[in-house]
Structure 1
Amino acid sequence: MTNKKILITGASRGLGLAISKKLSSQYELILHASSKESFTTTLPNSHILCADLSNPEQVSDFCKQLKKEHGGELYGVINNAGVTFDNSLIFQPEKAIDTMLNVNLRAPIMICKTAMKIFSLSKKGVIINISSVVGETGNAFQAVYASTKAGLVALSRSLAQEVAALNEEHSIRVLSISPGFIETDMTDKLPEKEKEKYLKMIPSKRFGKAEDVAELISFLLSEQSAYVNGTNIHINGGLA
Structure 2
Amino acid sequence: MERKKVLITGASKGLGLAIAKRLSAEYTLILHASKPESFVEEISGSHVLCADFADSDQLANFCKQLKKEHGDELYAVINNAGVTFDKPLNFQPEREIDAMLSVNLKAPIMISKTAMKVFGLNKRGVIINISSVVGETGHAFQSVYAATKAGLVALSKSLAQEAAALSNEHEIRVLSVSPGFIETDMTAVIPETEKEKILGMIPAKRFGKVDDVAEAIAYLLSDKASYINGTNIHINGGLI
Place the TM-score, normalised by the shorter chain, in its bin.
over 0.9
* 1:1-240 equivalences in 2 (<5 Å): 2-240=2-240
Match of 2:54, SS state, is coil
Q: How well do the aligned residues superpose, as a CA RMSD in angstroms? A: 0.8
Aligned counterparts of 2:202 and 2:40: Cα–Cα separation in 1: 33
1:62 maps to a residue whose letter is F
Residue correspondences, number: 240
Aligned counterparts of 1:4 and 1:187: Cα–Cα separation in 2: 32
Over 4 Å off, 4+ runs = none
2:127 maps to a residue whose letter is I
Aligned counterparts of 2:145 and 2:134: Cα–Cα separation in 1: 8
1:145 maps to a residue whose letter is Y
CA displacement at 1:39 relative to structure 2: 1.2
Q: Are 1:129 and 1:176, in contact at CA under 8 Å, matched by a contact in 2? A: yes
Q: Are 2:6 and 2:74, in contact at CA under 8 Å, matched by a contact in 1? A: yes
Instruction: Give the TM-score normalised by the residue count of structure 1.
Output: 0.99
Instruction: Show CA shifts across 1:75-98 (max 9, x none).
Output: 000000000000101110000000
Aligned counterparts of 1:26 and 1:2: Cα–Cα separation in 2: 10
CA displacement at 1:72 relative to structure 2: 1.5
Report sequence identity in percent. Answer: 72
1:85 maps to a residue whose letter is F
Match of 1:71, SS state, is helix
Aligned counterparts of 2:3 and 2:185: Cα–Cα separation in 1: 32
Q: Are 1:2 and 1:27, in contact at CA under 8 Å, matched by a contact in 2? A: no
Aligned counterparts of 2:68 and 2:3: Cα–Cα separation in 1: 17
2:94 maps to a residue whose letter is E
CA displacement at 1:133 relative to structure 2: 0.2
Aligned counterparts of 1:107 and 1:65: Cα–Cα separation in 2: 14
1:197 maps to a residue whose letter is K
Q: Are 2:202 and 2:238, in contact at CA under 8 Å, matched by a contact in 1? A: yes
